[in-house]
Amino acid sequence: MLREATVYIDGKWRSAASGETFSSTNPATGAVLDTVADGGRAEARLAIEAATAALPGWRAKTAYERADILIAAHRIMLERQDELATLMTKEQGKPLRMARTEVGYAADFLLWFAEEAKRVYGEVIPSSRADQRFLVLQQPVGVCAAITPWNYPVSMITRKVAPALAAGCTSVLKPAEQTPLCAIETFRVFEDAGVPPGVVNLVTCSEPEPVADEILADPNVRKISFTGSTEIGKMIAARAGATMKRVSMELGGHAPFLVFEDADPEHAAKGAALVKFLNTGQACICPNRFIVHRSIVDRFLKTLRARVEGLVPGDGLVKGTTVGPLIDEPALAKMTRQVDDAVAKGATVIVGGTKLTGETFDNGHFFAPTILSEVTADMVICSEETFGPIAPVLVFDDEAEAVEMANSTSYGLAGYIYTRDISRAIRVAEALDFGMIGINDINPTSAAVPFGGIKESGLGREGARAGITEYLDTKVLGIAL
């Protein structure tokens, strides 16, 4: 099936003016799934114009009217949960059960922000002058652009577009080139929910730069929200300064996973196996360093190894698969490079360590779930984000050393602590320079809590009450009586 009319502007599906297309492929099988419009500058410009023209009408709607549309989108997305999940598994690779979970998470943002739309409160501030009143209003920022990655190809869209819509902003989205079909189906949900023409616009494209250039140069775009690598995020944030756009940056991570001597090492290892191999390690909150007390590292490794050996790599559509492929060939090459570097510097491969081969794997991008022990800070894997199924294990001897090891990264997104000592849990959580901390818990995320990082992991928060304030400007009215 060819779906070349996949650019959605002003409520209409259209082809690229250039007539160019590109393909979306299944990372598990290499099969071409579909062909989509390859948008560029022209489409980006039209999309911004449509969003600009639609802004006055959308921001004038009441919060209740905007919420009703988001509630309809939530219902439609859940009605299509199986269909969307199957498409996601084919296009992105995660096992079907995990894809269903992601669609549920994506829908959560639609409902959460439908509710938050009605809670955009202002303030009345006392004045020192008896004849004066101060009112503080919260108003929509305006036209907002969003650039999203492939690893969570539906929820990363709703996490940005839902708060924008709730706040009264209009949007232009550029999705990742690897997952345009998920973006298209997400936009069909918006369309079918009754989002008016021009309020949400989609530019599928294979080359991000021309579209990003147009977005960044246009003074009508008042905000850009980006999720992706720190390298590209820094570049976009710097360029957004030229027209003083607001920015939200959800960038890379290098999460430490601390297991103290008083923790249950088996329980910690079970959690470690679940969160490390989530989405084949391709989640920004996946642990990138397991920092384990020397006294319990053998027990931790024994359980982790048993769990990893029990993982079933393969095509996510096949029943029983628990780990899917990596997204592409460069990702696979990065795994080999990080393992080779670690081994050359003294690490031991406990399990895995190589690309998977054989009939099930040869047409896809599969790397064996891997554990490395005797890992040290000088190894590339300790500073570069892995974004794949490799669990490097380091040891420590005391708490201060563990905290120092954990914080010795330029990233600051997620971190994990396993301990049965409540004082230590709080002390260490306060000392860690990360935006989200799991304490004996591997999922410190929900539509209801602020998601985001510090240091080079980003700026701003998504989800929660904070998520909508990112799309609101503050205005003060000083009134003389």
Query: Contact positions toward ligand NAP, by CB under 6 A?
Result: 147-152, 174, 176-177, 208-209, 212, 227-229, 232, 236, 250-253, 284, 385, 387, 413, 453, 458
Find the shortest distance in angstroms from Cβ 22 to ligand NAP: 10
Find the shortest distance in angstroms from Cβ 283 to ligand NAP: 7
Find the shortest distance in angstroms from Cβ 454 to ligand NAP: 11
Residue-by-residue DSSP string for 36-102: EE---HHHHHHHHHHHHHHHHHHHHS-HHHHHHHHHHHHHHHHHTHHHHHHHHHHHH---HHHHHHH
**Per the structure block, which two tokens stand in for 368?**
């064996």
Find the shortest distance in angstroms from Cβ 381 to ligand NAP: 15
Q: Pick between residue 269 and residue 275 the one whose CB is nearest to ligand NAP.
A: 275
Radius of gyration of the chain (CA): 23
Find the shortest distance in angstroms from Cβ 174 to ligand NAP: 6
Find the shortest distance in angstroms from Cβ 178 to ligand NAP: 6
Q: Pick between residue 328 and residue 421 the one whose CB is nearest to ligand NAP.
A: 328
Task: Tell me whether strands 255-259 and 414-418 are parallel, antiparallel or unpaired.
Answer: parallel
| CA–CA gap between residue 124 and residue 16 (Å, rounded) | 49
Q: Pick between residue 176 and residue 350 the one whose CB is nearest to ligand NAP.
A: 176
Q: Pick between residue 24 and residue 151 the one whose CB is nearest to ligand NAP.
A: 151
| CA–CA gap between residue 93 and residue 12 (Å, rounded) | 29
Interacting residues of 107 by C-beta distance below 8 A, sequence separation 6+: 74, 77, 78, 81, 158
From 284, 382, 399, 456, the catalytic residue: 284
Find the shortest distance in angstroms from Cβ 177 to ligand NAP: 3
Q: Pick between residue 261 and residue 385 the one whose CB is nearest to ligand NAP.
A: 385
Find the shortest distance in angstroms from Cβ 327 to ligand NAP: 8
| CA–CA gap between residue 152 and residue 99 (Å, rounded) | 9
Find the shortest distance in angstroms from Cβ 63 to ligand NAP: 26
| CA–CA gap between residue 89 and residue 97 (Å, rounded) | 9
Judged by DSSP in three states, 255 sits in strand
Q: How many CB atoms lie under 10 A from the CB of residue 474?
A: 11
**Per the structure block, which two tokens stand in for 180?**
């345009």
Q: Pick between residue 315 and residue 456 the one whose CB is nearest to ligand NAP.
A: 456
Residue 152's Cβ-side half-sphere holds a number of Cα atoms within 13 Å equal to 23
Q: Pick between residue 209 and residue 340 the one whose CB is nearest to ligand NAP.
A: 209
250 given a catalytic annotation? yes
- Distance, CA of 311 to chain centre: 24
Burial class (CB in 10 A: 0-12, 13-18, 19+), 121: exposed
Of 210, 208, 206, 214, which Cα lies nearest the Cα of 227?
208
Of 331, 366, 389, which Cα lies nearest the Cα of 176?
331
Q: Pick between residue 286 and residue 425 the one whose CB is nearest to ligand NAP.
A: 286
| CA–CA gap between residue 275 and residue 315 (Å, rounded) | 19
Q: Pick between residue 168 and residue 389 the one whose CB is nearest to ligand NAP.
A: 389
Interacting residues of 210 by C-beta distance below 8 A, sequence separation 6+: 40, 41, 44
Find the shortest distance in angstroms from Cβ 227 to ligand NAP: 5
Q: Pick between residue 34 and residue 399 the one whose CB is nearest to ligand NAP.
A: 34
Of 105, 91, 111, 240, which Cα lies nearest the Cα of 175?
91
Do 244 and 74 contact (CB within 8 A), yes or no? no
207 given a catalytic annotation? no
Do 391 and 372 contact (CB within 8 A), yes or no? yes
Q: How many CB atoms lie under 10 A from the CB of residue 256?
A: 26
Instruction: Please give the residue whose beta carbon sits closest to ligand NAP in the complex.
Output: 228
From 4, 250, 399, 470, the catalytic residue: 250
| CA–CA gap between residue 240 and residue 180 (Å, rounded) | 25
Active site residues: 250, 284
